[in-house]
Amino acid sequence: MSTKKAIIIIDDEFIILESLRIQLSRIIDENIILEAASSGEESQALIDEFYNDGIDIILIISDYNLDDTKGTAILSYAHQKFPNSKKVILSGQSDINEIADFNNSIGLHASFTKPWMFDELKESILKVINT
């Protein structure tokens, strides 16, 4: 039996979170769990839950600026439990230096500015799913 796989999307803006959820639900396999979190605290709880349940997080897409933390902090937290997961940052007003430092320390699969181009995001996500 293969390990269940999951994708987590994180953004504190409901419209962004819902847009991502709808777009991703159209392109991912129905066997992949798609969960959304609207805060750093909520996303950490999801990461812990999946870790404890033996569900492999293959992709985490996080907004850079959350109300309660930075997306890089959440991706770093996830990296401790799921080092092979792919990490993506979405940003409207990012600190380029911090994202570059994060990319050098842990590695980003991709980063996208808001609003993102769906075709580019789709291509990036499909690469993760199909590897």
Q: What does the buried/exposed string (b/e) look like for 35-57 if buried means 16 or more CB atoms within 10 Å of the residue's CB?
A: bbbbbbebbbebbeebeeeebbb
- End-to-end distance of the chain based on CA atoms, in angstroms? 18
Q: Strands 56-63 and 5-10, how do they pair?
A: parallel
Q: Average pLDDT of the chain?
A: 87
Which residues, other chains included, contact 6 with Cβ-Cβ below 8 Å and sequence gap of 6+?
32, 33, 34, 35, 50, 55, 56, 57, 58
Res 51: pLDDT: 97
Res 47: pLDDT: 98
Say how many domains are in the chain: 1
Contact 115, 125 (CB under 8 A): no
> Percent of the chain having pLDDT more than 70?
87
Tell me the per-residue pLDDT of 49-106, one tens digit each, with 9 for 90 and over: 999 999 999 999 999 889 999 888 999 999 999 999 999 988 876 566 666 666 666 7
Q: For the chain, how big is the Rg over CA atoms in Å?
A: 13
Mean pLDDT of 44-49: 97
Q: Which carries the bigger pLDDT value, residue 126 or residue 113?
A: 126
Alpha-carbon 84 to chain mean position? 13
**HEC per residue, 21-67:** HHHHHHHCCCCEEEEEECCHHHHHHHHHHHHHHCCEEEEEEEECECC
Mean pLDDT of 6-15: 95
Res 52: pLDDT: 96
φ, ψ (nearest 5 deg) of residue 70 = -95, 145
Domain that holds residue 57: 5-129
At 115, which CATH number?
3.40.50.2300
Mean pLDDT of 34-53: 97
Q: DSSP label at 70?
A: B
Q: What is the pTM for the complete model shown?
A: 0.88
Res 1: pLDDT: 45
